[in-house]
């Protein structure tokens, strides 16, 4: 690891991402948690640029920091969110979970800490969007079309699940 602009960019982006995640765990108000996570999403977009995936960075900003955050805020605003009373989950359970996740992280870190395949792609950043488009419409055309079916199903499902049931309301009154 030599000191360079890329290194400093990675360190600062990673720091913002991790701080956003830690704030998500520690803040008390739900809206603040969602806003803390926007920091994480935006810095992950920066990480994608460092990994020469410019198109994915743009998609990350549009989908995650735009659409998903707004959907979450809608969900918060449509429900009761002033509930900040003490959680019932015991301290012992939290501690055990924390230890378990620490062990999980340590086991994975042993596997990855000096993983290096020695090959670095140097052509990914040239016409990144064009490369993605060509691969998506030639080699991965069937998953692409299946994704459109999945999105349609999710759209219909979300509308059916969340629409007001008029008959039931009329019966109740």
Partner 1 sequence: MSSVPLSAYLALGLILFCIGLYGALTKRNIIIVLISIELMLNAANINLVAFSKFGVMPSITGQIFALFVMAVAAAEVAVGVAILIALYRNRNTVNIDEVNTLKH
- Applying the rule CB under 8 A, the residues between 32 and 71 that interact with partner 1 are 33-34, 37, 40-41, 44, 47-48, 50-53, 55-56, 59-60, 63-64, 67-68, 71
CA nearest neighbour of 84 among 29, 18, 11: 29
Binding status of residue 109 toward partner 1 by CB under 8 A: yes
- For 85: left if phi > 0, alpha if psi spans -120 to 50, otherwise beta; the answer is beta
Q: Please say which residue, 3 or 170, places its beta carbon nearer to partner 1.
A: 3
Handedness of CA 148, 123, 52, 105 (dihedral sign): positive
User: Which residue of 10, 16, 58, 61 would you call a contact of partner 1, by CB under 8 A?
Assistant: 10
Interactions with partner 1, residue window 133-162 (CB under 8 A): 135-136, 140, 143, 147, 150-151, 153-155, 157-159, 161-162
CA nearest neighbour of 131 among 44, 52, 70: 52
Contact code string over 76-105 relative to partner 1, x by CB under 8 A: x-xxxx-x---xxx---xx--xx--xx-xx
User: Which residue of 14, 16, 58, 61 would you call a contact of partner 1, by CB under 8 A?
Assistant: 14
CA nearest neighbour of 7 among 50, 57, 45: 50
Q: Are the C-beta atoms of residues 58 and 44 closer than 8 Å to each other? A: no
Shortest gap between Cβ of 94 and partner 1 (angstroms)?
6
How many chain residues are in contact with partner 1, going by CB under 8 A? Answer: 88
User: Which letter does DSSP use for residue 71 in this model?
Assistant: H
């Amino acid at each position: 690891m030599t000191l360079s602009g890329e290194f400093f960019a990675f360190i600062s982006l990673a720091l913002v991402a991790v701080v956003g995640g830690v704030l998500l765990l520690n803040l008390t108000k739900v809206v603040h948690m969602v806003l803390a996570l926007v920091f994480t999403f935006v810095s992950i977009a920066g990480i994608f640029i460092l990994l020469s995936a410019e198109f994915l960075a743009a998609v990350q900003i549009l989908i995650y920091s735009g659409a998903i955050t707004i959907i979450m805020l809608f969900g918060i605003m449509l429900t009761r969110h002033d509930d900040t009373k003490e959680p019932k989950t015991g301290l012992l359970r939290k501690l055990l979970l924390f230890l378990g996740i620490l062990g999980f992280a340590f086991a994975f870190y042993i596997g990855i800490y000096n993983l290096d395949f020695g090959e670095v792609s140097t052509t990914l950043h040239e016409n990144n969007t064009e490369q993605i488009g060509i691969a998506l419409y030639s080699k991965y055309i069937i998953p692409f079309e299946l994704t459109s079916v999945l999105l349609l199903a999710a759209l219909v499902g979300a509308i059916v699940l969340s629409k007001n049931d008029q008959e039931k309301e009329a019966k109740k009154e």
